[in-house]
Structure 1
Amino acid sequence: MRKILDIIKKRTGSQSKSTIPFRLNLLFFIVFALFALLVGQLAYLQIVYGGKFAAEVNRTDKTVMSGNVPRGMIYDSKGRLLVGNSTENAITYTKSSGVKSSDIYQIVNRLTKYVSFEKENLSTRDKADYILAAPGKSAKVAKQMPKSYRVDSNGDQLSSSKIYNNEIKYIKNQGIHLNSEELAKASVFKKMSSAYSLSSIFLKDKNLSSKEIAQVSEHLTELPGVSIGTNWNREYPQGKSIASIIGGVSTEQQGIPDDELNTMLAYGYSRNDRVGTSYLEKSYETILSGTKSQREVQIGGNNQIKQSKLVYKGQKGGNLNLTIDSKFQKKVKSILDSEYSAAQADGVTSYSDGAYVVATNPKTGAILAMAGIKNDPTTGKTTEDSLGVINRAFVMGSAVKGATVLGALMDGVITPTNNTQADVPIYLPGTAIKKSVYPIGTFSSLNAEMALQVSSNEYMMALAMKEANAKYTPNKYIHMDSDIFSKMRGYFNQFGLGVKTGIDISGETTGLVGSTHTSDGQLKTGSALDLSFGNYDSYTLMEMAQYISTIANGGYRMRPYIVQSTQKTTDNGKKGAIESVTEPKVLNRVGFTSSELNVVRKGMYAAVHGTNGWTTATKLKDLSQDVAAKTGTAQTFYFNPNDPDNPDPPETINNSLVTFGPYDDPNIAIAVVFPNITSESGNYSQMVAKQIYEYYFKATGQD
């Protein structure tokens, strides 16, 4: 070997030692050392941390899902169930956070082998989404599409979302043809795809057969996210005579109303939760909805739900106990229906809006019954409309005269001992004569009690002119203080006329307030006179009930309410402990004296029991208990929405009544209105009140 090396050295002429092999050897050594360290580290990790990393790969995230519970019940004042829940089996689906359209497609096709679904209204986009979700379909369509559907003008690839939209467009252009079975599948696919992540939806909750339930139960392992559950629907065991008062609950598809979405999400609701959308169901949503169940869900590394465990079964919604006796409510509704039918038979309802009635306890404000009929004059079709009592307003006519007289007494323009005035009509330029229904000259003068008994318009107008310091000359313009409208309305407001009553049902409105000045700035003095006898502003019937209750109870404007108490639900679904009781609430005390009030009470008593031929409410005089009342007749015009510019609309009459009884110790107050009938005869409002009194006095042992 050495000889060979010497020969090489001689040939190269080099006598010095070469450094190249040393560098290569050093490099090889370093690589070897690093490789050895890497192998050692891998071995170390495998031996020491192998189990930990394996667990990390198979790691599951835990999250808590909430579930809905049955809604609370609603009972009448006697404990009868008014609103309950009917429970039905359901197929549910809980969407995983990372589920793909192709996964849903496969679940749908498996599920529809065991459960039949109805096809629903689908858009062309919905159908195309279903078609493209089939395994490999999207890629196949992408290859078939024109190049311009995949790349832009520069030849760059379009975004995946734009390509998908072009796939939809391509599918539409090619034509979509799905049979009935495929449309049903597409409907289920749409529901499942539209579900929010980790939220449960109902795929089918009606007419689910025991065979379908059994088959789904047997194949749950191949149907990720699908399970068997229950759903509920509102039912009305006592009928729907007050269904409109109860209000509605949204469907799962409707979910939370848009205008309340952010607020309710902040309170822990989900977008597809069923919530109260109107009236009692909405006003008492937090009580009726209950506390959601909680389920701990384990989500694996593939974003699929691996395990689900119930950690809190939830608390069924609380119950409402109403002030309404359902038996009395049904009777009141029956009486109203009967009298409206009589009005129809008399031929006076061709322009009618319907009829409404409400009965309250004047001492507490508790609603005893409320019923309504809404009539469509163009079709003659009637519908139940109890809520019209709080959200429809009408000009009520002379029924408000009690407030007019008490306003004048509080204003000091008359006193309990000095209130006689001349009974003369008012003549204004360019305006029809303003007078009462009886002939001019029937009475030369009247005191306040007699004016209420015979319903004198002249008397009320004289009061308004005194309050306005008016200077009146027949056929001349009346000069009045500019504050006459605000003054009279201020007194009316104290009784609840023209302001919200504060009832515990959402959706209450107030009546309409007429304008105070003409277009050229002149005070509408003639309208001020009309206001004094109830022929100008409009009021809801609940406002009228609050007004007459204030007179009946001695001057306290009580807040009307329909929920007497709220009550817990026990674990077994039965009625539990009372949580809260509604206490009567005084909104304000009207500032009249007892002697001033007595003037009006006597006048309303005389309106029923008086002997003068023009006494107005005599239909109520033969009851077993003495009552007081004030009738109303307002001259109106029928507004036809199909002919809004009609210069000569038909004249109609609003027939109204307010009353309370027994006279000495009132425990019921009633307000009734029959708007837009075509005749003053018939006494429909009085007949409704009379029959209600007869039933009520007998039912409460006062006959």
Structure 2
Amino acid sequence: DKKDFWMQLNEKRAAAKVTKEDESKFREQEIEGKELDKKVEELRRERITQEELSELSKEDLEVLAIKSKMNAGYKMTPQIVKKDVSQNEYAVVSERLANLPGVDTTVDWEREYPNDKILRSILGSVSTENEGLPREQLDYYLVRDYNRNDRIGKSYIEKQYEDALHGTKEQSKNITDKAGNIIRTEKVTEGKSGNNLMLTVDMELQKKVEQSLEKNLRAFHSAEPMMDRAFVVMMNPKNGQILSMAGKKIVNKDGGMQIEDFALGTMTSSYELGSTVKGATLLAGYQTETIKPYTHFFDAPMYFKGSTKPKKSWKDFGDIDDLRALQVSSNVYMFNTALKMAGINYVPNNPLDIKKETFNKMRYYFRQFGLGVPTGIDLPNESIGQMGRTDDIPGFLLDYAIGQYDTYTPLQLAQYMSTIANGGYRMKPQIVQEVREQPHRPEDIGKVVRSIEPVILNRVDMDTSYINHVKEGFRRVFQETDGTGTATFKGLPYKPAGKTGTAETVYGGESDIGRDENYNRKKCYNLTLAGYAPYDADPEVAFSVVVPWVNDDKSGINSAIGKEILDSYFELKAKRAGGNPVPVEQPNKAQ
């Protein structure tokens, strides 16, 4: 407070502000003791003028600012009073520390992100010294030798791995006099820097994936004003390691369009994923012996009592088996599979009598692939998607069977496809590969403290032959004539397989552009894609692409992104194998 500081600098002038006569008037009001001292102090402060305060020099105000910061601290807890000091300032103060009890100089840290905005939302953030420890976790950190004003990881990787990243503090003992003033400080133990994290993310690949997302969002946005985001997840299906985890989002700032990092959305936002989940529908049908491999159904519009609109595929395919159903993305085949699971033989114009138990049964099998449950990724605040109701309209089971009811995250979609790719093992997605000590030399990467081993969350309750049968269907989607992914992926040297998806939905964003004149949400599509490569050997990469809220379901943006990211993966692989390894930057951090 400027008035307090002015009074300290001008004790005689401050004392003269209150006269004996003023004190007598207070006593006449029977004000004595501490109350009198308080009244006198208040009157003295009131009589300090702005003109007198303007006498404080720039140097005085700097001293006041430092004193205010010192007063804001906690007893025996270091309090930073000035940052970004010059070398000269550091030297001058350090030379006089013997005459400045309780004052010290130290080298502090600031988090740097060498890859700029790449993967920023996933990396998370750290608190400032002003924020200090979060109130709701104060006791947790204090018992672990944190100070109240320490900086800690606030979100995602920074928060999840705070214990590994936080260094060990130097232990000191303060020697005080009887009045509690610090006489000297003695060092008890040396401090130690925090560890580094080695991520599983291939940063060279991550950059190319993010470039693909941004390029395609810009190219399509003028024709697709509701489409404001897109996501990609790439992972190793053998061990669950995340190779790329990317999301981009269009925002309007300062009257212009900007594209921001939204990698976080791969695990915190969920959408109807459409036909990409049809592999799970077939596998549920096989395992419940509702259908068998090569079971045939006739694909034509289906009519039910109480519904004016038929349930149908995007075209009539006639007599088809399960592999053909995947290849051309037949909805009717999946409807029949769901009806069989409910114990119903389709008869035109009959009512649907589907019990809740059938929903539960199908969800049981979907969840084994990670659809509708936590993926287990080593990051906090993961979404599991949204589960639709099962007690109102029986026809919703048919929507569920084609991926147009429950919602899932792009990460869940990648885990589902990865589980099929590796033969039925649901792997825990991992974004941290190793914890390493701080290196002693710049060219080193530090000693391994802990390796993060692959974790099998579960083996799906399905016969391996059934899984291989669905994999053949996924191969046909990308490689055989009239497969829904053939136009983009047929004949590519890295031999991809997978499934396309188109989900009818309504706009789920916040912009008015996604609402009609009655402020109802407009109808649109989620375009998705999931797959793996190569299909004729142990697949080494599985992926998902999710592009929500598209007007034109034939735009092909999902396939365009999918091909670009797979091209990038295998081009980098070939370049590195050819004797010209590409250095992969790992966004390590230390404290």
Shorter-chain TM-score: which interval?
Answer: 0.7 to 0.9
- Conserved 8 A contact 2:528-2:545: yes
Question: What residue is the counterpart of 1:235 in the other structure?
Answer: 112
In the aligned structure 1, how far is the partner of 2:25 from the partner of 2:554? 77
Q: Which moved more, 1:625-634 or 1:238-247?
A: 238-247
Deviation at 1:416, TM superposition (A): 1.8
Matches within 5 A, 1:242-641: 242-344=119-221, 347-348=223-224, 350-376=225-251, 380-417=257-294, 419-428=295-304, 429-430=306-307, 432-438=309-315, 442-470=316-344, 474=348, 477-517=351-391, 523-569=392-438, 575-612=445-482, 615-639=484-508, 641=510
The one-character-per-residue Cα deviations of 1:227-250 (angstroms, maximum 9, x if unpaired) are 322111111223331122221111
Deviation at 1:159, TM superposition (A): 6.0
Deviation at 1:466, TM superposition (A): 1.3
Equivalent AA in structure 2 for residue 558 of structure 1: M
In the aligned structure 1, how far is the partner of 2:167 from the partner of 2:197? 12
Q: 1:298 to 1:434 in 2, by over 3 A?
A: same
The one-character-per-residue Cα deviations of 1:401-438 (angstroms, maximum 9, x if unpaired) are 11111111111100124x21121223353554332222
Question: What residue is the counterpart of 2:585 in the other structure?
Answer: none
Deviation at 1:384, TM superposition (A): 0.7
1:656 aligns with 2:510: no
Deviation at 1:576, TM superposition (A): 3.5
Q: Which moved more, 1:292-301 or 1:444-453?
A: 292-301
In the aligned structure 2, how far is the partner of 1:480 from the partner of 1:268? 58
- Conserved 8 A contact 2:171-2:187: yes
In the aligned structure 1, how far is the partner of 2:41 from the partner of 2:352? 74
In the aligned structure 1, how far is the partner of 2:86 from the partner of 2:80? 15
In the aligned structure 1, how far is the partner of 2:382 from the partner of 2:226? 25
Deviation at 1:541, TM superposition (A): 0.8
In the aligned structure 2, how far is the partner of 1:302 from the partner of 1:194? 20
Q: Which moved more, 1:163-172 or 1:448-457?
A: 163-172
Deviation at 1:589, TM superposition (A): 0.5
Q: Which moved more, 1:144-153 or 1:246-255?
A: 144-153
The one-character-per-residue Cα deviations of 1:619-677 (angstroms, maximum 9, x if unpaired) are 11131121111011111212454668955322221111101010022010010111112
In the aligned structure 2, how far is the partner of 1:176 from the partner of 1:471? 94
Equivalent AA in structure 1 for residue 527 of structure 2: N
Deviation at 1:301, TM superposition (A): 2.8
Q: 1:640 to 1:568 in 2, by over 3 A?
A: closer
SS at match of 2:110: strand
Deviation at 1:223, TM superposition (A): 4.2
**Unpaired stretches in structure 1, ≥5 consecutive residues:** 1-125, 518-522
The one-character-per-residue Cα deviations of 1:596-616 (angstroms, maximum 9, x if unpaired) are 11221111111101213x634
The one-character-per-residue Cα deviations of 1:19-50 (angstroms, maximum 9, x if unpaired) are xxxxxxxxxxxxxxxxxxxxxxxxxxxxxxxx
SS at match of 1:260: helix
Question: What residue is the counterpart of 2:71 in the other structure?
Answer: 193
In the aligned structure 2, how far is the partner of 1:548 from the partner of 1:486? 21
SS at match of 1:211: helix
- Conserved 8 A contact 1:361-1:668: yes
Q: Which moved more, 1:406-415 or 1:291-300?
A: 291-300
Greater Rg by CA: 1
Question: What residue is the counterpart of 1:683 in the other structure?
Answer: 556
TM-score (norm 2): 0.87
- Conserved 8 A contact 1:371-1:385: yes
Equivalent AA in structure 2 for residue 689 of structure 1: G
- Conserved 8 A contact 2:221-2:228: no
The one-character-per-residue Cα deviations of 1:238-265 (angstroms, maximum 9, x if unpaired) are 3331122221111111111222211111
SS at match of 1:306: strand
Equivalent AA in structure 2 for residue 358 of structure 1: V
SS at match of 2:142: helix
In the aligned structure 2, how far is the partner of 1:458 from the partner of 1:295? 73
SS at match of 2:405: coil
**Unpaired stretches in structure 2, ≥5 consecutive residues:** 579-591
SS at match of 1:524: coil
Matches within 5 A, 1:81-92: none
Equivalent AA in structure 2 for residue 292 of structure 1: K
Question: What residue is the counterpart of 1:202 in the other structure?
Answer: 80
- Conserved 8 A contact 2:427-2:456: yes
Deviation at 1:399, TM superposition (A): 0.9
Instruction: Provide the identity percentage.
Output: 37
SS at match of 1:584: coil
- Conserved 8 A contact 1:127-1:176: no
Equivalent AA in structure 2 for residue 196 of structure 1: Y
- Conserved 8 A contact 1:478-1:525: yes
In the aligned structure 1, how far is the partner of 2:122 from the partner of 2:337? 39
Deviation at 1:132, TM superposition (A): 6.3
Q: Which moved more, 1:299-308 or 1:645-654?
A: 645-654
In the aligned structure 1, how far is the partner of 2:36 from the partner of 2:375? 58
Equivalent AA in structure 2 for residue 512 of structure 1: Q
Q: 1:640 to 1:628 in 2, by over 3 A?
A: closer
SS at match of 2:108: strand
Deviation at 1:322, TM superposition (A): 1.3
The one-character-per-residue Cα deviations of 1:171-194 (angstroms, maximum 9, x if unpaired) are 899999667836554433321110
Q: 1:480 to 1:129 in 2, by over 3 A?
A: farther
Equivalent AA in structure 2 for residue 201 of structure 1: Q
Aligned residues: 565
Question: What residue is the counterpart of 1:49 in the other structure?
Answer: none
Equivalent AA in structure 1 for residue 547 of structure 2: F
Q: 1:308 to 1:160 in 2, by over 3 A?
A: farther
TM-score (norm 1): 0.74
Deviation at 1:698, TM superposition (A): 2.9
Q: 1:158 to 1:659 in 2, by over 3 A?
A: same
The one-character-per-residue Cα deviations of 1:288-330 (angstroms, maximum 9, x if unpaired) are 1121111232212342222223332211111211112221221
Deviation at 1:506, TM superposition (A): 1.9
SS at match of 1:503: coil
- Conserved 8 A contact 1:128-1:176: no
Q: Which moved more, 1:684-693 or 1:615-624?
A: 615-624
